[in-house]
Chain A
Amino acid sequence: GDSVTQTEGLVTLTKGLPVMLNCTYQTTYSPFLFWYVQHLNEAPKLLLKSSTDNKRTEHQGFYATLHKSSSSFHLQKSSVQLSDSALYFCALSGLANSGTYQRFGTGTKLQVVP
């Protein structure tokens, strides 16, 4: 079935270092991929989304490229800040024969330390 995999549960990094959070997906339909960020005790907010193959999408210093050939949509940032500490979810949406569907990954907690 349709699914999203985020392999890292917790990533701890020193401020200023680059980060890549992994997201791979499985679907037989044309996918939309999303990254949501959820700060402690706050609601998830959309960070990035894409449905275009091999096109880089950027927002607030974060970027991701949807690669349909490898079914991936990894989230990257060149220099993390303390304020980036949060839970990051990758999500997949698509249009199946039975209707639209959505799947969230289990999330990756990013912890940035001084």
Chain B
Amino acid sequence: EAGVTQSPRYAVLQEGQAVSFWCDPISGHDTLYWYQQPRDQGPQLLVYFRDEAVIDNSQLPSDRFSAVRPKGTNSTLKIQSAKQGDTATYLCASSTGDLQDTQYFGPGTRLLVL
């Protein structure tokens, strides 16, 4: 069974540039999560979907971050006008249930904003 895949694996930007991250969850997993993990810190949930619906995006900085999952499968997380404080690894995970079920994480995208 293929795991969660993410691309790109690395991104380097200047402040003010935009970037998109892509995630393909495990087939059959209806719940998809996006996390931000700053260096030497734990992951912080940004947003999660069940199928195409956003369940919780309360931690997503809505002025510059957006996330979609239009067909309930793949998802894209976009940062408009990146800031140095956005430097982190962005992890995608999927599960068959909700936050109390086992999540399977992708390898992450490492973002460096100069």
Q: Is B12 part of the contact surface with A, judged by Cβ < 8 Å? A: no
Shortest CB–CB separation between residue A36 and chain B, in angstroms?
8
**Nearest CB in chain A to that of B102: its residue:** A46
- What 3 pairs between A and B have smallest CB-CB spacing? A104-B42, A43-B105, A93-B99
B102 touches A49 (CB 8 A): yes
Q: Spot the interface stretch: A11-19, A75-83, A95-103.
A: A95-103
For B, the interface residue count at a CB cutoff of 8 angstroms equals 20
For A, the interface residue count at a CB cutoff of 8 angstroms equals 22
B106 touches A43 (CB 8 A): yes
Q: In the complex, A110 Cα to B108 Cα: how many Å?
A: 21
Q: In the complex, A31 Cα to B19 Cα: how many Å?
A: 36
Shortest CB–CB separation between residue B111 and chain A, in angstroms?
15
What sequence of 0s and 1s flags, for each residue 4-47 of chain B, a beta carbon within 8 Å of any chain A beta carbon? 10000000000000000000000000000000000011111100
Residues of B within 8 A of A (CB): 4, 40-45, 55-56, 91, 98-100, 102-108
Known A-B contacts A43-B108, A45-B105; A100 and B42 likewise in contact (beta carbons under 8 Å)? no
Which residues from B are CB-within-8-Å of A32? 99-100
Which residues from A are CB-within-8-Å of B99? 32, 93, 100-102
Which residues from A are CB-within-8-Å of B44? 104
**Nearest CB in chain B to that of A6: its residue:** B42
B107 touches A42 (CB 8 A): yes
Shortest CB–CB separation between residue B94 and chain A, in angstroms?
12
Q: In the complex, A104 Cα to B91 Cα: how many Å?
A: 13
A43 touches B43 (CB 8 A): no
Which residues from A are CB-within-8-Å of B102? 46, 49
A89 touches B45 (CB 8 A): no
In the complex, which residues 59-74 of chain A have their Cβ closer than 8 Å to any Cβ of chain B?
A: none
